[in-house]
Amino acid sequence: MEYLLQKGSLSIRRAVRSDAPAIADLIMGLAIYEHMPECCHATVPMLEESIFDRGEAKVLIAEYDGEPAGFSLYFYNYSTWLAKKGLYLEDLFVKPEMRGKGIGKSLLQTLARIAVEEDCGRFEWSCLDWNEPSIRFYKSMGAVPMEDWTMYRVTGDALTKLAGQE
């Protein structure tokens, strides 16, 4: 197992296929934290296929005393203005009972190191506007909100309609 970080009781490593059940549990923990568990449809087979078979995303697992304590899921996007790929953090979650141990900060620092090592032009993510603890945390790490930008999403029936396949 290749560890990207080992610091006391904390270790961070790249996820492997056998981590899919733990990843699914952590994703559900995030959905519960965000008050939307009914929107979470990820299953272990779906994660195995999309992450480990097709490589659509990458996952880092944070372990504390050898047990899964948190995760980050990321993928690459592209900046036309920089003509470089960027690292996009889709989700970062630390179990409530594991917070305050530096796990979230270590996950972000590890992702930043990956972005620098891979010559990414940006490291970006989104945060729910009601999530004040995370907003304070991100700002303390040097992140700045993109206040001139609004994210748009098309999903479900609207996506099918836009694709002209209604």
CATH of the domain at 117: 3.40.630.30
pTM of the predicted model as reported, rounded to 2 decimal places: 0.93
pLDDT in tens, 6-28: 999 999 999 999 999 999 999 99
Cα distances from 1 to residues 7, 27, 61, 80, 105, in angstroms, run: 16, 22, 12, 36, 22
The yes-or-no verdict on residue 165 having pLDDT over 90 is no
Query: Tell me, what's the pLDDT at 5?
Result: 96
pLDDT digits (tens, 9 = 90+) for 91-145: 999 999 999 999 999 999 999 999 999 999 999 999 989 999 999 989 998 999 9
Average pLDDT, integer, range 27-43: 96
d(CA 48, CA 66): 22
Q: How many domains does the chain have?
A: 1
Active site residue 138: yes
Expressed as residue numbers, the domain containing 117 is: 3-162
pLDDT for residue 1 is more than 80: no
Could you give the CA distance from residue 121 to residue 12 in angstroms, rounded to a whole number? 23
Q: Which is catalytic among the residues 64, 74, 88, 138?
A: 138
pLDDT digit string, tens, across residues 55-85: 999 999 999 999 999 999 999 999 999 999 9
